[in-house]
Structure 1
């Protein structure tokens, strides 16, 4: 067996298994992580149990299992096993199991002790898929609480060892160099005057013509591959074959793309980032990098994904180029400038921070702990986590306390996405025809394929029924339900099955043809030429968020609302809604039947309770804004002083007081005083000062009045108002003569807040504004004194104002007194 770079660290790694709970292995593509290391552990490490090798992609898992089994001169299923969704090849002899990510999660959920497993190897962990992060978090929890003898080996081509080493401080860190030949880089920014696909094809053809060997062309997605493939057909050199490679191809097409070219021939493979690290394609010495990738961004509020095309990271660009130097000296053409390469972000954002967490949330809840209790490399964002839990509650899989319901207990056994599993569990007692249709729909829903011209769900289901991957998936689900899968669809039940998967995407037509509003409150657009666009109600089965406004539907089915009411009455809610009609200046009330944000039926309410009237007036305030209330000087002053107390960090227990906070808490502070009112005019006459005082409470109001009073007493004994602004110091405007004898700047809140003194002339015009009164008396007062003696000779302008008696009088009256 030829030497590989990984061989240099295998002895240290095997020794490390005895002493370290985790091992972090950084090795570039081609070093032998996936192909040499499992066999070395199998042959050299004294392991009592199995080795589980986790692969992020199905294609890579199949390829690696085939390679390992071939090395042992055995078929898959003996020493080397393979487990993927819908495909299991293992036996009592199996010592190494190559599994995909969802499978490892299910193994952990089924058997948290992982009996019979000694080592879990996480391959290509730098891709940081949701399942990889989840599987690592669950494995660490298992290791900490149940299996201190379990060993974890985390491997990556571009592993951020610093971040992961901090995350796993007890881990052994190993690094090996790759086996790579020199790579020559070429930069060719594409012209903006030509269609993108055409420009990519032309640049690629020129590059291929100048260099020998097979080539990889990295493109951002399936659509781009399709366009560039069309632009290249018939234009390649006579000795070159054209292939596509992405996760949606059938197995035979994928194998054709990665197989070595026939003798005397070479190949050009158009690929997504699937070929960056996890696959080895024989004969590649040319790489063409478009510098783009397609990323999924999840919108937590609507539950809809947005697919965006973005520049790749520098780490990805380096990985792509590395494919050219595996066998001999290679060439890399980057279809962007060297300056652009230097400006690329260093590393990608982890999927756990930007993707849908519904499946992850269900797995964490099934594991039986709080999300914060697990050891995450990146903690799931709170907003996305809460949205996922809300969705699971809507599907009926968890209750309001985030515990699994009976439906959820059954759904987690079905190895489908939460949406599809919820649907299957709901209809499990139906007849075989319904369950078969449900299995085909669930198989499609987990990986929608909508490449046909029709938006109709039935057409798209019938199209995928001839694909082996979908057949295997549907067959696997049918076995889990205990039925024999039929090759026909029950078209009558299909809309209701779809409604069970996507209740939040049931949609009603709104105005223009092709525009609908979904139950989640989000708009969606269909092709206006499609027959579905004329239906009153539909279920949107595949949708992608738009750049700005409505989302775009790629699959849908017409729905009978009457049938939905019969099958899922629990989806409907009765509401009595009271709203303010600003045009009419009155309250409008109606009884509504709602499905999420959709109003299916409404009728007027003629009689309103006092509570409904109060709520209607509060709704009017929300519409009009908080400033439309009757803010008199007293109430406005109290509110401003309270906001100042918060802005200046005073220790006074006040509620949040921004305009948005006041609107959000109307039910708390304003509602008790609106009870019994029915007209806006009555609300407009309400004095808000006692309302705020009641909300703050007597003790807090007294504390606020003491710390930040409305008025302050000056040396003459007069009381003058203070002007408050949260962004500035409080201001006291007073004639200068009344501040004689005040040596220092007055303060509030036990000296914590200095007052800004606005010293006025006898005519009331500002002479000086200061927060350093002592400094003013000793300094620039002399200039003011000199000028004011000439302008106001009848008034006192003493030489020592800090120690002079204050006065409201002129010089003559002051002397007489």
Structure 2
């Protein structure tokens, strides 16, 4: 009610069963509309709409400005006395895994909250209403994180290449994230701007243009193809926010609007004018003549070609005819959230896409149809030929084919014949690496062997920097499949043949002599206990477990050790019914402090069994009672 009064809204106290409920709602809405001027304020507005938000309210009106983070700047709006802060911000975050930016909604920092509150008192006393508690405020970060930690670093990587330096050679307030920087370098290599750490001649030309590397590459290649005007218009459209929001995703319609063939709607005029001005600036940067002009520069397919030059990773193929989902060259998925005319196209290049927090797939906002035949001409550098040897998951057999690929998309494929043994074995190794070691015929005994070796290696590395015991962890074995597994794959031709491998002999060969003998000495399969029984050790956990009936340890003062005394085993002390009654690594302390209570309980449940008062001098037994002498 207080906030409503601040906005000049007269709200009637209406009960749910008030007969005049609808009438009062209409009257309140009319009062609100006549007395309050609602003005949005964000970067996509034209100049007139921005002026309406900034200028003083007309006489007799109260103005409410609905603003984004732009209100945190030094912008001053006359007459603001009240700020209502939701405490949230939509922040672009670059995802190195996808090479795309996505908008995340997150809590603002204390510094931003202070900045927002300051808008209320710029010209006169005011008040700020924060829609969160004081406790929540204390949990906010002091300041927002540096932009370099979440930004696209392609432009930075291009300039560092121009200077001939790497990030490690410079002193930073905030070091660029390694993953994002590697993603940026990979993009520059695909754009032909980077060769190793050095810029190419094309990269030098890109660095001289005041534009993102994607846009710079588009402009230079577009000029070389004799498509400079279209390239500048496309670059301007990509540099501006969408000038035709809500009119479908097809970029062709934006290009027509920019060329002046159609009149822009009133709300889009500002964006169109900015895009035209930016296109003129780009034309001023381009010099020289076309070096490899195309024969039909007016053909609409060149829009898709230019867009693919800027976004080679966003060439997309439809998953099923007429469907909304596409697979991108970078391996990601994208889809139309609503029905669109472009869904008739089997191939697209996507200019603008992204996802919000909690969304799995990317949403397509701007795109253009694409002719894959361009990969045989002006986009041939994006195509790579790969000889692929892999398993047909349905048939369970090895298949070999030569694929023409653009990123992760397959343009064409043809069977390969006459494979050599090395290539064939490598395909089998790749299959194991992808599916995991569980594809091989492991047994519980082999897993115990693996754990025994791992224990001795771990003990060595805990006391010194190296170990004579090899690393036989799953990760290490997967990494070295070529060395220990490939020589034994000659007879494997179907998936089911892996079960025939003598895996025990294969992995045991990883231990050179005399380590197999020392393994049995230091990490034995079984331990002898005072009753005379030989009890199996379980190495699947660390420390190894010795599960033994309590009566079989009478007379044993200390916990058994292995590995030359370096490792104490974990005792699972069992009842006569082989149920755990105690877990310990300190047997002496158990006899001293806990045995009496355990004995009382066991004696009640198993009265016929032998439960001596002093277990250290009693005779151990695997029977109900010791044999009589």
The TM-score by the shorter chain falls in which range? 0.7 to 0.9
1:321 aligns with 2:114: no
Shift, 1:539, TM fit: 0.7
Query: Does structure 2 conserve the Cα–Cα contact (< 8 Å) formed by 1:295 and 1:308?
Result: yes
Task: For 1:42-191, list aligned pairs within 5 A.
Answer: 188=3
Query: 1:579, 1:588 within 8 Å by CA — same for their partners in 2?
Result: yes
Give how far 1:406 is off: 2.5
Paired with 2:462 and 2:525, the residues of 1 have a C-alpha distance of: 16
Residue number in structure 1 paired with 2:210: 415
Q: Secondary structure at the match of 1:414?
A: coil
Q: Structure 2 matches for 1:204-283, cutoff 5 A?
A: 206-209=5-8, 243-250=39-46, 254=50, 257-258=53-54, 268-283=64-79
Query: Can you list the C-alpha shifts for 1:423-473, whole angstroms capped at 9, x where unaligned?
Result: 223344343xx1122122222223342534032212213334573432332
CA distance in 2, matches of 1:309, 1:768: 51
1:686 counterpart = 2:501? yes
Alignment partner for residue 503 of structure 1, among 312, 317, 329?
A: 312
Asked if the contact 1:187/1:338 (under 8 Å) is kept, the reply is: no
CA contact (8 A) 1:527 1:533 kept: no
Residues 614 and 678 in structure 1, CA contact (< 8 A), matched pair in contact too: no
TM-score when normalising by structure 2: 0.78
Pairwise CA distance, 1:247? 2.7
Query: SS at 1:209's partner residue?
Result: coil
Note the C-alpha offset of 1:534: 0.9
Deviation at 1:210, TM superposition (A): 7.9
User: Residues 721 and 338 (structure 1 numbering): CA distance in 2 closer, same or farther, change over 3 Å?
Assistant: closer
Give the secondary structure class of the aligned counterpart of 1:493: helix
Residue 791 (structure 1) aligns with: 608
Query: 2: CA distance between counterparts of 1:615 and 1:774?
Result: 55
CA distance in structure 2 between the partners assigned to 1:599 and 1:668 by the alignment? 31
The answer to whether the 8 Å contact 1:396/1:405 transfers is: yes
Q: Please give the alpha-carbon distance, in whole angstroms, between the structure 2 residues aligned to 1:323 and 1:482.
A: 47
**Within 5 A, what are the aligned runs for 1:764-803?**
769-778=583-592, 784=599, 791=608, 801=616
C-alpha separation in 2, matches of 1:489 and 1:244: 40
With over 3 angstroms needed to count, the CA separation of the structure-2 counterparts of 1:326 and 1:662, relative to structure 1, is same
> How far does residue 667 in structure 1 lie from its aligned partner after superposition?
4.6
Pairwise CA distance, 1:738 = 6.5
Once the two structures are TM-superposed, the CA of residue 418 in structure 1 deviates from its matched residue by 1.3
Cα RMSD of the aligned pairs, angstroms, is 4.3
Q: Contact conserved, 1:207 with 1:333, CA < 8 A, in 2?
A: no
Give the drift of 1:735. Answer: 6.4
CA offsets 1:101-134 (integer angstroms, 9 cap, x no match)? xxxxxxxxxxxxxxxxxxxxxxxxxxxxxxxxxx
TM-superposed CA distance for 1:760, in Å, is: 6.5
Q: Is the 8 A contact 1:622 1:663 kept in 2?
A: yes
**Alpha-carbon contact 2:316-2:348 (below 8 Å) kept:** yes
Task: Output the CA distance in 2 between the equivalents of 1:768 and 1:799.
Answer: 18
**Contact preservation (8 Å) 2:609, 2:624:** no
**Residue 314 (structure 2) pairs with residue 536 (structure 1):** no
TM-score normalized with structure 1 length: 0.62
The answer to whether 1:446 aligns with 2:257 is no
1:594 aligns with one of 405, 415, 422: 405
Secondary structure of the structure 1 residue equivalent to 2:188? helix
Partners of 1:579 and 1:589 within 8 A in 2: yes
2: CA distance, partners of 1:355 / 1:303:
11
* Contact persistence 1:575–1:593 (CA under 8 A): yes
Distance 2:138 2:553 in 1: 62
Which deviates more from structure 2 when the two are superposed, residues 668-677 or residues 249-258? 249-258
The equivalences for 1:557-706 within 5 A come to: 557-605=368-416, 607-621=418-432, 625-644=436-455, 650=462, 653=467, 663=478, 666-667=481-482, 669-695=484-510
User: Judging changes above 3 Å, is the alpha-carbon distance between structure 1 residues 323 and 243 closer, same or farther for their aligned structure 2 residues?
Assistant: same
Are the aligned partners of 1:632 and 1:687 in contact in 2 as well (CA < 8 Å)? no
Q: 1:275 to 1:693 in 2, by over 3 A?
A: same
Classify the secondary structure of the residue corresponding to 1:389.
helix
Return closer, same or farther for 1:465/1:258 CA change in 2, 3 Å cut-off: farther
Instruction: Name the CA shift for 1:266/1:734 in 2 (closer, same or farther; >3 Å).
Output: closer
Note the residue ranges of structure 1 that are not aligned, 5 or more in a row: 1-185, 189-202, 212-230
- Please list every run of 5 or more consecutive structure 2 residues that lacks an aligned counterpart in the other structure: 11-27, 261-271, 291-296
Q: Distance in 2 between matches of 1:330 and 1:415?
A: 42
Q: Which whole-Å CA distance do the structure 2 matches of 1:324 and 1:503 have between them?
A: 47
Judging changes above 3 Å, is the alpha-carbon distance between structure 1 residues 694 and 456 closer, same or farther for their aligned structure 2 residues?
same
Matched residues in 2 for 1:326 and 1:762: separation?
Answer: 83
Partner in structure 2 of residue 396 of structure 1: 192
